[in-house]
Amino acid sequence: MGYDGNLTPLFDCSCLPKRSAPYTEFFGQDIIAVSQFDRRRLAYIFQRADEMRDLVTHGGVSDLLRGYVLACLFYEPSTRTSASFIAAMHRLGGSVIPITQGVQFSSVSKGESLPDTIRVLEQYSDVIVLRHPDVGSAQVAADAASVPIINGGDGIGEHPTQALLDLFTIYEELGGVDGLKIAMVGDLRYGRTVHSLTRLLLQYDVSLRFVSPDTLRLPLNLMNTVIDSGTNVRETDSVYDVIGDADVLYVTRIQKERFSDTKAYDEVKDAYEITPALMRLAKERMVVMHPLPRVGEIHTAVDADPRAAYFRQVRNGMYIRMALLAAVLGQA
Amino acid sequence: MGYDGNLTPLFDCSCLPKRSAPYTEFFGQDIIAVSQFDRRRLAYIFQRADEMRDLVTHGGVSDLLRGYVLACLFYEPSTRTSASFIAAMHRLGGSVIPITQGVQFSSVSKGESLPDTIRVLEQYSDVIVLRHPDVGSAQVAADAASVPIINGGDGIGEHPTQALLDLFTIYEELGGVDGLKIAMVGDLRYGRTVHSLTRLLLQYDVSLRFVSPDTLRLPLNLMNTVIDSGTNVRETDSVYDVIGDADVLYVTRIQKERFSDTKAYDEVKDAYEITPALMRLAKERMVVMHPLPRVGEIHTAVDADPRAAYFRQVRNGMYIRMALLAAVLGQA
Amino acid sequence: MGYDGNLTPLFDCSCLPKRSAPYTEFFGQDIIAVSQFDRRRLAYIFQRADEMRDLVTHGGVSDLLRGYVLACLFYEPSTRTSASFIAAMHRLGGSVIPITQGVQFSSVSKGESLPDTIRVLEQYSDVIVLRHPDVGSAQVAADAASVPIINGGDGIGEHPTQALLDLFTIYEELGGVDGLKIAMVGDLRYGRTVHSLTRLLLQYDVSLRFVSPDTLRLPLNLMNTVIDSGTNVRETDSVYDVIGDADVLYVTRIQKERFSDTKAYDEVKDAYEITPALMRLAKERMVVMHPLPRVGEIHTAVDADPRAAYFRQVRNGMYIRMALLAAVLGQA
């Protein structure tokens, strides 16, 4: 059945640039949960993320991931997370299949299982970022896949790249993590990012302060884990108790839906808003962080304060994702 | 009206790398229907697709389509088909304008005709893949366009790249097509992929077996075409009649909507499911194919069987589309 | 907290290709409104757009914007405009974060403000194109952003790249603008493109003819601006008054919703349709333009007339956007 004409070969494969993946720490691994990261592996990723910052900051253009294809499979929209991964891949010369809308209307609506969808997409791509509303779906995908899966958030489960970028921001802004007093403020009960960051921080010598209304306190089992770790920890319902000596103020979004009536919500909202007046009580060298989007938890007048780190935090997300993509593809 | 300042030219066009399109077999052609492909042209595309597989498998990075832009115009979502074309274009260094959602909300909702939309998009792109719910729309687009149109499925009409990847998979898995006994199983009445593949197979010396419930038999006119071609053909309603000596088992999705009641559907579903037990009756060298998505027609326990070719079939789709894109752009 | 192992640096930044942005006319500027463009700056952009045409026409492949990332932030769908910007970026070697659907479902639905969304996106990207339904939103975004914002249309406000491509088309088709008689036909009351183009044309020595039904005449204040400029101008309700000596016929879409009853709409529609019969009354060297999409204002039989410039006009949009993107990024 061979072609009977005289077809000139398209490629001389021996002359083409090759993608090679030497053995590296994260090569071929899935990124599913923060529990995969000990201090050594965190330091590894942070050093790589630092190099990514240098690359971008100095206007360097790299082809580190040229020829690699990332599939962004988002079963629920997340403009921020998908944009961050897309930018990360592009800035390293790689390309992206964006499936960030309408997954539900296509194969999935025909009843295709997540493992099947993953097995199809891995035929086209070298790495897959999955965002899915169901807890545990990232692991289901990883079990099905032969390419690395990066968990871009699985419901109220994990969102490890967010936790990594949070910790990386503390590290970058303050030059390290050990010895810091870190206060988490707002909805500590449902705030997924608070839970993951807290777990990462337990590996360091830090003091933790949890500031929330009574109905939104840190879940019991996580609080017990913190206590059992021997970490210095206190809970309070007033941000004034921590503002004076906190090195980090990690503020989270308080959702109206968590309250039975608008009045209760408004009271809490006002009591926890970070304002310029409050910032005058804070140390000169400290940082305010927020996973964004915010809806009033931090007054916009704080944005100009050099201690406001939340937009730099966003940028760090891109560097962390550049580092992770390069790492699991064996290129970093 | 010329600029009065001293503008340094941006490009020295004589020094820039150039896209050139020497005369090649498929240069500038539209890919609308399987009837465009005789054995010679099939062999041509398959040889190119083979080269694409080599390229990807060996981790080679090619710029064959660098500087070319593909517009993916999808009037109905098809995650699989669009992802496959996007990956194909990226892996050859080209880029993509993805219009895979919301076409209906924009220009089209303002009443723009398909020919006008095509004439607009061809101003931006070098080739257009069209997915459209209406039979014949690909030809309408091709008539309007000066760039090549590739039919990515026009309703119950044609979906030629699917048929090509199906045939290519048989060719790759079994080393050829002549002499094979090929069984199509499931919904043969509405299954577009079965019809197109059957038409392609009539060009080869094959035996065909059509296995379906009575209400989902191959349409009369296609069956007559098969008979008139002199091809060895049989119909049956039992997969046990063919499993012993089939070289290819091409399984299709049976849709619940085709049945008047759930009980009738469940009976058929169970009777046609491909299971490990059934596979024990099959030849050692044969392949099971499925256009996917599946919803139970093939038990997941079959996935580990080396004869299960359906995910390799998906990957072949990318190679075929790489070959077609390069071919119609005069680069292969 | 440094990594204790021996990590080989990924990049030798001194050896990487660098993006540099020498001072150029438009470097770092936002493109918000046509009032930013005087004749000198128009000539600048047009000369660059001409070079872009040469590049594309001669099949040249450029890496002028390699390493740059464009964020396409579309709060309302506009297939045409987003496709044009995406193609423009790709053809210069840059990459795109497409946020063209579903913005409303993600961060924004959580109550994020436009300035916050912009401040997040600029962490990932080097330039942002914004399409938004609210007048003035492009300026709001520009005030928040540290990267250039290009207005891709803000409601009934401005859509400057459309006006630039319209003027560029006149310039390219007829070799200049001074001395021309330009007729605008159709809905001159609500047609945003007519208003912007008219403002740009007042900088040139042109004669203007406004042809519309009485209910869709040019707004009073714009008409007064035209009169005050000393430009030769006339209004009429018959296209026959202008067809004989117009150099440009700029036709716009007449929307059914503007009329109280279907009969009134149909009468107007028929009276203003550009047909081959009408074109026989026009000069041999003139051009018919339309911002598209059309829904019957220009008969498709006119498409083959060499004076029909509306699809070339679309392509000019890509060249203009290539020029603008390169210019605000300091590369042109």
Same fold, B34-158+317-328 and B161-314: yes
The answer to whether the CB atoms of C46 and B3 lie below 8 A apart is yes
C64, C17 Cβ separation under 8 angstroms: no
- Stretch (H or E) spanning A163: helix A160-174
pLDDT tens across B32-68, in order? 999 999 999 999 999 999 999 999 998 888 999 999 9
Q: How far apart are CA C92 and CA A95, in angstroms?
A: 16
**What pLDDT, on the 0 to 100 scale, is given for residue A43?**
96
DSSP code for A96: E
Of residues C94 and C157, more confidence is placed in C94
How many H helices and E strands in chain C? 10, 9
Q: Which pLDDT band holds residue B20 (cuts at 50, 70, 90)? A: confident
pLDDT tens across C302-322, in order? 999 999 999 999 999 999 999
**Which residues sit opposite A98 in a β-bridge?**
A72
**Which residues sit opposite B150 in a β-bridge?**
B31, B129
Q: Phi, psi (5° rounding) for residue B280?
A: -70, -20
Tell me the percentage of chain B whose pLDDT exceeds 90: 77
- Name the residue with tokens 């199509």: B184
Tokens of C20: 């540099």
- Name the residue with tokens 């829904």: C295
Query: Is C181 part of the annotated catalytic residue set?
Result: no
Distance from CA of C298 to the nearest CA of B (A): 12
pLDDT tens across A234-244, in order? 999 999 999 99
**What pLDDT, on the 0 to 100 scale, is given for residue C12?**
79
User: From the candidates C62, C106, C130, which should be mutated to test the interface with A, based on the most A CB atoms within 10 A?
Assistant: C106
The reply to whether A318 touches chain C by the CB within 8 Å rule is yes
User: Model's pTM, two decimal places?
Assistant: 0.95
Is residue B4 classed as helix, strand or coil in its secondary structure? coil
Statement: residue A120 has pLDDT above 50: yes
**What pLDDT, on the 0 to 100 scale, is given for residue A87?**
97
Of residues C271 and A302, more confidence is placed in A302
Distance from CA of A54 to the nearest CA of C (A): 8
Q: Which pLDDT band holds residue C109 (cuts at 50, 70, 90)? A: low
Is residue B82 classed as helix, strand or coil in its secondary structure? helix
A85, A70 Cβ separation under 8 angstroms: yes
Q: How far apart are CA A24 and CA A127, in angstroms?
A: 16
Q: Which chains touch B (3 or more CB pairs under 8 A)?
A: A, C
Question: What is the average pLDDT value for chain C, to the nearest integer?
Answer: 93
Tell me the percentage of chain C whose pLDDT exceeds 90: 77
Instruction: Give the domain ranges of chain A.
Output: 34-158+315-328, 161-314
Taking CA C213 as the corner, what is the angle to CA C211 and CA C214, rounded to the nearest 5 degrees?
A: 110
- Name the residue with tokens 């990386």: A168
Q: Do strands B287-289 and B127-132 pair parallel, antiparallel, or not at all (unpaired)?
A: unpaired
Shortest CA distance from A4: residue in chain B: B40
Q: Point out the catalytic residue in the list A81, A117, A193, A198.
A: A81
Is residue B49 classed as helix, strand or coil in its secondary structure? helix
The residue-averaged pLDDT of B310-318 equals: 98
The reply to whether B103 touches chain C by the CB within 8 Å rule is yes
pLDDT tens across C163-213, in order? 999 999 999 999 999 999 999 999 999 988 999 999 999 999 999 999 999
Statement: residue C105 has pLDDT above 50: no
Distance from CA of B20 to the nearest CA of A (A): 14
**What pLDDT, on the 0 to 100 scale, is given for residue A198?**
97
**What pLDDT, on the 0 to 100 scale, is given for residue B109?**
60
Statement: residue A101 has pLDDT above 70: no
**What pLDDT, on the 0 to 100 scale, is given for residue A264?**
84
DSSP code for C308: B
Output the 3-class SS for B149-181.
EEEEEECCCCCHHHHHHHHHHHHHHHCCCCCCE
Alpha-carbon torsion B88, B89, B91, B95, what sign?
negative
Query: Is A81 part of the annotated catalytic residue set?
Result: yes
pLDDT tens across B209-264, in order? 999 999 999 999 999 999 999 999 999 999 999 999 999 999 998 888 888 888 88
pLDDT tens across A25-51, in order? 899 999 999 999 999 999 999 999 999
Taking CA C323 as the corner, what is the angle to CA C53 and CA C50, rounded to the nearest 5 degrees?
A: 30
**What pLDDT, on the 0 to 100 scale, is given for residue A8?**
85
Q: Phi, psi (5° rounding) for residue C19?
A: -85, 125
**What pLDDT, on the 0 to 100 scale, is given for residue B105?**
47
Complex confidence, ipTM: 0.94
- Stretch (H or E) spanning C236: strand C232-236
**What pLDDT, on the 0 to 100 scale, is given for residue B6?**
77
pLDDT tens across A163-222, in order? 999 999 999 999 999 999 999 999 999 988 999 999 999 999 999 999 999 999 999 999
Tokens of B70: 């593909």
- Stretch (H or E) spanning A121: helix A114-121
Strand ranges across the sheet with C149-154: C95-99, C69-74, C127-132, C149-154
Topology adopted by domain A34-158+315-328: Rossmann fold (3.40.50)
Number of residues in chain B: 332
Q: How far apart are CA B328 and CA B330, in angstroms?
A: 5
Q: Which chains touch A (3 or more CB pairs under 8 A)?
A: B, C
Tokens of C69: 């990332």
Tell me how far CA of residue A38 lies from CA of A42, A195, B315, C206, in angstroms.
6, 16, 37, 72
> What is the residue type of A31?
I
A34, A82 Cβ separation under 8 angstroms: no
Q: Phi, psi (5° rounding) for residue C38?
A: -95, 180
Alpha helices by DSSP H, listed for chain A, are: 39-57, 79-91, 114-121, 137-144, 160-174, 192-201, 220-228, 262-272, 276-279, 310-328
Q: How far from the centroid of its chain's Cα atoms is residue B49's Cα?
A: 13
Q: How far apart are CA B119 and CA B107, in angstroms?
A: 13
Is residue B96 classed as helix, strand or coil in its secondary structure? strand
The reply to whether A43 touches chain C by the CB within 8 Å rule is yes
Tokens of A64: 């580190």
Query: Which residues from chain A sit within 8 angstroms of residue B61, using beta carbons?
Result: 16-19, 66-67
Q: Point out the catalytic residue in the list A24, A41, A80, A217.
A: A80
**What pLDDT, on the 0 to 100 scale, is given for residue B46?**
97
Q: How far apart are CA A282 and CA A276, in angstroms?
A: 10
The alpha carbons of chain B give a radius of gyration, in whole angstroms, of: 22
Statement: residue C5 has pLDDT above 80: no
Q: How far apart are CA C118 and CA B294, in angstroms?
A: 42
Is residue B93 classed as helix, strand or coil in its secondary structure? coil
Query: Which residues from chain B sit within 8 angstroms of residue A120, using beta carbons?
Result: 80, 292, 311, 314
Ramachandran assignment for C247, one of left (phi > 0), alpha (psi -120 to 50 degrees), beta (any other): alpha
Q: How far apart are CA A110 and CA A108, in angstroms?
A: 5
**What pLDDT, on the 0 to 100 scale, is given for residue B260?**
83
Statement: residue A231 has pLDDT above 90: yes
Query: Is C80 part of the annotated catalytic residue set?
Result: yes
Tell me the percentage of chain C whose pLDDT exceeds 70: 96
Q: How far apart are CA C175 and CA B212, in angstroms?
A: 67
Statement: residue A116 has pLDDT above 60: yes
> What is the residue type of A305?
D
DSSP states along A38-86:
-HHHHHHHHHHHHHHHHHHHTTB---TTTT-EEEEEESS--HHHHHHHH
Taking CA B241 as the corner, what is the angle to CA B236 and CA B243, rounded to the nearest 5 degrees?
A: 120
Query: Is A231 part of the annotated catalytic residue set?
Result: no
pLDDT tens across A265-322, in order? 888 888 899 999 999 999 999 999 999 999 889 999 999 999 999 999 999 999 999 9
- The closest alpha carbon to B111, from C260, C271, C294, belongs to C294
pLDDT tens across C131-144, in order? 999 999 999 999 99
- Name the residue with tokens 């898995």: B173
The reply to whether B234 touches chain C by the CB within 8 Å rule is no
DSSP states along C34-86:
GGG--HHHHHHHHHHHHHHHHHHHTTB---TTTT-EEEEEESS--HHHHHHHH
Statement: residue A13 has pLDDT above 80: no
Tell me how far CA of residue A88 lies from CA of A18, A92, A159, A316, in angstroms.
21, 7, 17, 11
Chains B–C, number of C-beta pairs less than 8 Å apart? 128
Statement: residue C256 has pLDDT above 90: no
**What pLDDT, on the 0 to 100 scale, is given for residue B156?**
87
**What pLDDT, on the 0 to 100 scale, is given for residue C102?**
55
Tokens of C154: 């803000």
- Name the residue with tokens 């044609």: B158
Q: How far apart are CA B211 and CA C214, in angstroms?
A: 68
Q: How far apart are CA A180 and CA A171, in angstroms?
A: 10
Q: Which CATH class is domain C161-314?
A: alpha beta
The reply to whether A307 touches chain C by the CB within 8 Å rule is no
Distance from CA of A195 to the nearest CA of C (A): 21
Q: Which CATH class is domain B34-158+317-328?
A: alpha beta
C138, C154 Cβ separation under 8 angstroms: yes
pLDDT tens across B72-126, in order? 999 988 889 999 999 999 999 999 999 876 555 455 566 789 999 999 999 999 9
